[in-house]
Amino acid sequence: MSESPTRVLVTGGATGIGAAITQRFLANGASVAVSQRTPDSLRQSLESSGLDGQVSGLVADLSDEAAATRLVEEAVDALGGLDVLVNCAALTGDRARRLAEKIDEPHVQAMLAVNLGAVILSSVAACAQFRRQGTAGVIISISSVMAQATQPGAAVYTATKAGVNAFTKALASEAGPAGIRVLTVSPGDIRTDASPAPGDVIDGGTGARTERVPALERQGRPNEVADVVSFLAGPEASYITGVDITVDGGWLIR
């Protein structure tokens, strides 16, 4: 891409880290579409985040396998094209937490559908759109340090995020010749509604307590993740693809 992206879709882009990413792209002058699971959650999230009237709001229940592809199509219609896809929507917090002995098929299917399946399908749809446009687009999926480490209650969540990382590398290899870049960003313990206090959770993924403290000895802020995403989407990162960027304050090295 020769200039900063102008048309961006952020799934889950009206809450938590997703809202910070949306706000960062808006500050850069981009047109942004965001998705939430239901009309009510979309309305409430846009109002509480201050994004109401600034973005194109779309409804997509990403547990439905057809929704991810349809979401990309709707975003293209709303924005007049697409330059960047940010896969941020995920099942986190209490919905993601399940000790291994209590894992059942509905839990596994729901986690796989939203945290992995939707990422795959939306990314494939975005690649197809970039090729139709003849543009070198960017796909950034929000993964987690839990793809590289774990804690009680995070078994399925960990597996889905590791899958996102593996898929990203494979897609980056295939899409690279078309100039399409594909990356992951792995936050650590970021202070959001899903992770309200230091040490309570790692990126809101499980809600389980952990005693590991990052090297910087504080929680991260959503805007610190958003700044990295913005950089990776822009022309300054034009030779970066197929890698995971960790934003964890040194959690993994402890």
Q: What is the pLDDT of residue 154?
A: 92
Burial of 231 (0-12, 13-18, 19+ CB in 10 A): middle
- CA 225 to CA 105: how far, in whole Å? 32
Contacts for 88 with CB less than 8 Å, ≥ 6 apart: 10, 11, 12, 13, 17, 18, 21, 142
Residue-wise DSSP of 165-187: HHHHHHHHHHHGGGT-EEEEEEE
Instruction: Give the per-residue pLDDT at 207.
Output: 47
pLDDT band (50, 70, 90) for residue 18? very high
The pLDDT value given to residue 106:
95
Q: Are 9 and 82 in contact (CB under 8 A)?
A: yes
Tokens linked to 40: 């009510």
Whether 157 is catalytic is yes
User: Residue 159: pLDDT band by 50, 70, 90 thresholds?
Assistant: very high
| Other Cβ atoms within 10 Å of 213 Cβ, number | 15
CA distance to 101, 124, 132, 228, per residue, from 185 (Å):
30, 18, 26, 8
Pull the structure tokens for residue 68. Answer: 């991810």
pLDDT of residue 3: 60
**What's this model's pTM, rounded to 2 decimal places?**
0.92
More confident residue, 207 or 74: 74
% of the chain beyond a pLDDT of 90: 85
Higher pLDDT, 109 or 93: 109
Is residue 33 a contact partner of residue 72, using CB atoms and an 8 Å limit? Answer: no
Rounded mean pLDDT of the chain? 91
Residue 223: its H or E element: helix 222-233
> 15, 87, 115, 157: which one is catalytic?
157
pLDDT 10s digits, 185-220: 999 999 887 665 554 444 444 444 556 789 999 999
CB 151 within 8 A of CB 200: no
What is the pLDDT, as a whole number, of residue 208? 47
Q: How confident is the model at residue 93 (pLDDT cuts 50, 70, 90)?
A: confident
Helix (H) or strand (E) holding 123: helix 118-133
* pLDDT at residue 205 in the model: 45
* pLDDT score recorded for residue 1: 40
- Say if residue 5's pLDDT is above 70: no
